[in-house]
Amino acid sequence: MTEKEKYKLLCNNEFSIPIYSRDWWLDCVCGASNWDVLLCIKNGEIEAAMPYYVPCRGVISMPPYAQTMGIWFNPTFEDKRYSRDLFRKQTICEGFIARLPSHGYFLQHFHHSFTDWLPFYWAGFRQTTRYTYVLPDIAKPDEIRNELSENIIRNIQKATNKYRLTVRRNVPTDIFLKLNAQVYQRQGMKPYQPAILMRLINLSRSRGQGDIWGAYDAENRLYAGVFVVWQETGACYIAGGYDAERQKSGGLALAMWTAINDLSAPARSFNFAGSMIKGIAHFFRSFGALQKPYFVVERGKLSLPVKIRMKFLTIIKGM
């Protein structure tokens, strides 16, 4: 049995693996043959795993719609003595680094729970810090509501009282994709990987792990929508959008808040997926979310010919 086959079996039974690193997610966003995984096995059990995406030969990078990947450590192996556990994890990292496929460029976004990138620094990698925003416990929405900013509360009230918006689930995928595309079109950009987004929506819905919440008015006009996925350990915001003519309705805040409330039972936390854009970061933070730093680790650089090849492969693979 290959390491990838072992990892797929692990994903069926281990709930602590982040959703972005699960086999079904990687199959969808990478293509089933374009990702692999390194395992650290101790006494017949998987102690740690490092899935990685290979968009073309010599490149290890991040796939679309995966905020983080990096290394997952099996919590059952955690040592209560901090110094010993730190050394254990550093040793595992060094082992993974030594076993990485030959590459001219490496890029990985590590989950915010990964806090020690020293082994990568020692091996010549560089690091940039980015931020996500997380509600660590959404089991009691009433308590979260107390942490909402005044601006978010005003937007929710405006959407409800002034515009008479109501939120419904199961927004049709094609309608949501058009709404999401407007976000990029307003910036003079092409929609971001709509084919992959469509596959993610359809797949996560078929698994009972994803849905779209939409804010509608009395005439059934869609003002805003959010696509969120979840598993037991937490929910993650993936994509959203709003009608430019109805931007000030508060519909996006209402849709997001409703999704958080609806997911308070099946998920423990809510990850807004973060952004380095000031306005977006402020919007996420306004829900009372905690700022969580995570590492972007790189080595090497992409040459122009490799960039062109990656773009070409993306097109022909329909990614």
Q: Token digits for 165?
A: 């918006």
Strands of 136-205, DSSP E:
166-168
Domain that holds residue 74: 3-132+293-316
Amino acid 7: pLDDT: 98
pLDDT at 92: 98
Query: Residue 79 belongs to a domain with what CATH number?
Result: 3.40.630
Whether residues 154 and 93 fall in one domain: no
- Res 281: pLDDT: 92
Domain match, 222 and 195 both: yes
Q: Please indicate, yes or no, if residue 288 is contained in any of the structural domains.
A: no
pTM (predicted TM-score): 0.94
Ramachandran class of 300: left when φ > 0, alpha when ψ lies in -120 to 50, beta otherwise: left
List C-alpha distances in Å: 74 to 79, 109, 228, 231, 288: 11, 19, 26, 17, 30
Amino acid at 52: Y
Query: Do residues 159 and 178 both lie within one domain?
Result: yes
CATH number for the domain including 154?
A: 3.40.630.30
Longest dimension (CA), the chain: 62
Q: Is the same domain home to 143 and 264?
A: yes
- Are both 79 and 197 inside the same structural domain? no
Paired with 287 in beta bridges are none
Domain count, the chain: 2
Q: Which residues of the chain have pLDDT under 50?
A: none
Q: Based on the fold, state whether residues 254 and 193 are members of the same structural domain.
A: yes
